[in-house]
């Protein structure tokens, strides 16, 4: 495979990954989680309006690779990545760190009785009904390894990334799916490349297709 350094455009939609809950402290109302081990995840990007290209995304997990500033500043713990209202926040990230090649975090819930949604979530986690968390993150730097022969899949090694929030989820999203609205997907197709002309052409094509779709909808 050929290796290329990729520039990540501003406004790239936040990505998500699922991970298991580790342990629960009932008295402190905290939960320890491993929110990333850097495992390969199959994703997809769009070329134009209707062509999907799969690729494997690999997060590097080290103190240099993971920017923990947002998490350690008191990032939110959400219900299923919902950020539309403060009522979706069920806790806060108490601290985050990288140890032994794993990205870890301690999540704290409010005192019992403060918030009914948080109480329900903590009880569901404590009784191991809800067992998974999913991290939302932005990609700061990536390296593309293009396939050198038929049958190979493009690899994107994320060398620097910033976790933004941690969510409790029921069924983790499909590894190939992105959490985004249609308009975001059209404006920012998940494409990182060191070839600005090619990337620009694909984005322009996607924007044009989105504009045509909006015009059709306005005439209906």
The mean of the pLDDT values for the chain is 76
Cross-strand pairs, 169: 132
pLDDT tens figures, 142-174: 999 988 888 889 999 999 999 999 999 876 543
Mean pLDDT in residue range 130-136: 86
Q: Name the percent of the chain lying above pLDDT 70.
A: 67
Half-sphere exposure in the Cβ direction for 155 (13 Å, CA): 14
* Domain carrying residue 163: 2-219
Beta strands in 75-179 (DSSP E): 76-79, 89-99, 102-108, 132-146, 154-169
Domains of the chain: total: 1
pLDDT tens figures, 57-80: 888 999 999 999 999 999 999 999
């Amino acid at each position: 495979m050929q290796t290329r350094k990729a520039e990540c455009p501003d406004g790239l939609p936040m990505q998500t990954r699922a991970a298991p809950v580790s342990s629960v402290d009932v008295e402190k109302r905290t939960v320890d989680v491993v929110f990333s081990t850097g495992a390969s995840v199959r994703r997809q990007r769009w070329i134009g309006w209707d062509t999907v290209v799969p690729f494997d995304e690999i997060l590097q997990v080290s103190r240099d690779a993971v920017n923990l500033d947002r998490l350690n500043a008191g990032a939110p713990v959400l219900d299923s990545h919902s950020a539309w209202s403060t009522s979706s926040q069920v806790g806060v990230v108490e601290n985050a760190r990288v140890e032994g090649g794993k990205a870890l975090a301690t999540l704290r819930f409010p005192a019992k009785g403060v918030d009914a949604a948080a109480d329900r979530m903590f009880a569901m986690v404590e009784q191991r009904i809800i067992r998974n968390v999913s991290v939302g993150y932005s990609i700061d730097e990536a390296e593309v390894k293009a396939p050198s022969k038929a049958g190979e899949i493009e690899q994107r090694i994320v060398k620097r990334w910033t976790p933004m929030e941690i969510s409790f989820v029921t069924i983790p999203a499909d590894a190939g799916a992105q959490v985004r609205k249609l308009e975001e997907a059209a404006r920012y197709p998940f494409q990182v490349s060191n070839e600005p002309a090619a990337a620009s052409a694909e984005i322009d094509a996607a924007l044009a297709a989105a504009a045509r779709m909006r015009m059709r909808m306005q005439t209906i």
